[in-house]
Structure 1
């Protein structure tokens, strides 16, 4: 078992720690509800809980003053920065969740078309656990006054619609597979 709060505490303090920990907790709660509906094993659920709590650890290195993050990098880089951190911590599977959780995943084409400051590689969820955490994350903001508020699926679809039909298709497929947990988890 990973002591996620101790790990987050090594990278965040004050309001930043509270925001990232609270966001991670609500994402983990929904992800675990999905895991239970999907009949995942206890080991898979433990991984999901840990990885969901740590998925935004890279925020400690980005510039997002509204959530207490005063690092030098653009926010879009928090996934790859989190991967670097967790790989150094010896958590290679958790690290992949960090890199692959942005939106419904980023493709090489997305990175090139949007001219994102990211390495040119696919960063899309590949395992069920990665998909579940990515799905759960879509419903929660890190805005301090909205941390525990879960957005309705319609709002998530609306936000994703600006990124193309392919992103909506991924979300809709996840709703088919995981959406029942929205009733259980909420």
Structure 2
């Protein structure tokens, strides 16, 4: 069992706004992901891992430049997943790191990265395991700017659609699997 609290404390010390945003958002994602675990025992999902990885999936936001959510780093926000993955690999958590790097959007394919000229390595960052998919799916219902509310499926779809049809198709597939 991973002590995700210690890892968050290591990178987000004190009681700052960014720490609060990270924790509230991550708790919302974890809660929704764990609801899916409970609704779908037939999927044999790893409940403990899902909770830990959901709490750590956005650990890399601290290194990004997103002042609207109190991030004052230097990297583009789109990179928070790969930055978080690097942090968690250094912590000895390669499985959790995969969730970080594969949760942006509805995952990102090499085609999406190249066609949108995203500042990411040219490779697929698609959720592969069911646990990765559940966390990525749950994440799409919560923003870091409106921490007090869950988006409807329609609003989540609209958000994802802005970035292309590939991600929207993945999200709709997860809707069928997880709802």
Q: TM-score, normalised on structure 1?
A: 0.91
TM superposition shift of 1:110? 0.8
Report what 1:56 is aligned to: 58
How far residue 88 of structure 1 moved from its aligned partner, in angstroms, is: 0.1
Which digits, 9 at most, give the CA deviation of each residue in 1:17-48, with x for residues without a partner?
A: 11101110000000001111121558x10000
2:21–2:144 Cα contact (<8 Å) kept: yes
Structure 2 equivalent of residue 150 of structure 1:
150
Query: In 2, Cα distance between the equivalents of 1:29 and 1:109?
Result: 32
Task: Within 5 Å, give how 1:83-162 maps onto structure 2.
Answer: 83-143=85-145, 146-162=146-162
1:75 to 2:77 alignment: yes
Which of the numbers 46, 65, 72 marks the counterpart of 2:67? 65
Q: Structure 2 CA distance, aligned partners of 1:118 and 1:56?
A: 16
**Is the 1:61–1:81 contact (alpha carbons within 8 Å) kept by the matching residues of 2?**
yes
Kept after mapping to 2: 8 A contact 1:26/1:148: no
Structure 1: 4+ residue segments shifted above 4 A: none
Runs of 5+ consecutive residues of structure 1 not aligned to the other structure? 180-186
Q: Check whether the contact 2:8–2:59 (CA below 8 A) recurs between aligned residues.
A: yes
Q: Distance in 2 between matches of 1:50 and 1:156?
A: 23
Deviation at 1:54, TM superposition (A): 0.2
Higher relative contact order, structure no. (Cα contacts within 8 Å, ≥ 6 residues apart): 1
Q: CA deviation at 1:161?
A: 1.8
Paired with 2:156 and 2:130, the residues of 1 have a C-alpha distance of 20
After alignment, is 5-14 or 110-119 more displaced? 5-14
Instruction: Give the paired residue count.
Output: 176
Across the aligned residues of Structure 1 and Structure 2, the Cα RMSD in angstroms comes to: 1.2
Using the size of structure 2 for normalisation, the TM-score is 0.94
The CA distance in 2 between the partners of 1:162 and 1:56, in whole Å, is 21
Cα-to-partner distance string for 1:139-173 (whole Å, 9 max, x where unaligned): 00001xx2131000011111122222222221111
Tell me how far apart the structure 2 counterparts of residues 161 and 97 of structure 1 sit (CA, whole Å): 21
Measured after TM superposition, the shift of residue 4 of structure 1 is 1.5
